[in-house]
Amino acid sequence: MLSPDLETRLNEQMRSEFSSAHLYLQMAAHFETSGFPGFSAWMRAQADEERAHAMRFFDFILDRGGTAVLGAVEAPPAEFGSPLEVFEASLAHERTITTAIDGLYEGADRATSAFLDWFATEQVEEEATVSQIVESLKLAGQSGPALLIMDRDLGSRSTAPDPGA
């Protein structure tokens, strides 16, 4: 059984993961309409991953005999800036999520800690991936050809489903 406090906090993280999916899908829409189909595809895949993260919490809460409560999903901003600004916003968002995951370990029982370990590792990978994209975008600067090459490269991201989901 989950403690009521832990159950509430796990539900809150599930909501955050759904909000992340919403944010990235909005970013995908932005890229789609601003001439970057590859960045858009990358963000769509990212949104799918976040939804899979939310489902991990959903299943874990239920498996532990808890009640999964789907709270309101945060509305993402409707407008975004340059590709660099969008990916910087994504990096800042991932850092916030990493801090939230770390915070969940406090007061977590052993099974919940083991469950959270997957997320702790996943956050390292997500932050590293997005940091690298941010650095590449900084190098690309205002160069149209460089941005188009990056758009093509990111568009080839594999969208294999999360094996653990």
Q: By the criterion CB under 5 A, which residues form the site for Fe ion?
A: 17, 50, 53, 126
Whether the Cβ atoms of residue 155 and residue 39 lie closer than 8 Å to each other: yes
Nearer Cβ to Fe ion, position 123 or 136?
A: 123
Closest CA to 150 of 82, 79, 69: 82
Taking the complex as a whole, the smallest distance from the CB of residue 35 to Fe ion amounts, in Å, to 25
Nearer Cβ to Fe ion, position 6 or 21?
A: 21
Taking the complex as a whole, the smallest distance from the CB of residue 17 to Fe ion amounts, in Å, to 5
Taking the complex as a whole, the smallest distance from the CB of residue 137 to Fe ion amounts, in Å, to 18
State the Cα angle at 31 between 74 and 76, rounded to 5°: 10
Nearer Cβ to Fe ion, position 41 or 140?
A: 41
**Dihedral of the alpha carbons of 68, 71, 75, 76, in degrees to the nearest 10:** -30
